[in-house]
Amino acid sequence: MTINSLYPRLVVADGSRAIDFYVAAFGAKETERYTDPSGKIVHAALLIGDAVVAVKDEGDGDHAPTTLGGSPVIMALDVDDADAVADAMLRAGATVVYPVSDQDHGQRSGRLADPFGHLWMIAQPLPPA
């Protein structure tokens, strides 16, 4: 058995708006988009840094975190400037769950929620003491 790739598929209530958010917040590049006849996104692929993230509109048994009352999954972003990424997310419409701050485990990190209910941990390594 060989696993060729692994990527998250984010189910959202408004795929087009979510893609616009990820472009504004992370500089994502949309590489694919497939819609059903009504225009709902059934699959869109985004490149965020070197990572692929898929987005789809909720439906067909797939529920967005906003429908479920939250998400137990946290997307972790390793970045070189946690404050700048958090600021970009906030400008694009995210909210702070935990503010970015220096942590005892050697990272500057925080957690934000995007407008679609997905959680993002933003972290950068701190220089050695």
Percent of the chain with pLDDT over 70: 100
pLDDT single digits (tens) 29-46? 999 999 999 999 999 999
Which residue bears the tokens 């694919």?
A: 32
Say what the pTM is: 0.93
* Residue 108 to residue 100: CA distance in whole angstroms: 6
- Its CATH class, for the domain covering 7-58, is alpha beta
The per-residue pLDDT for 129 is 73
| CATH number of the structural domain 71-129 | 3.10.180.10
Could you tell me the residue ranges of all domains in the chain? 7-58, 71-129
pLDDT tens-digit readout, 70-98 = 999 999 999 999 999 999 999 999 999 99
Report angle CA 80, 115, 81 to the nearest 5 degrees: 10
What's the average model confidence in pLDDT over 52-68?
A: 96
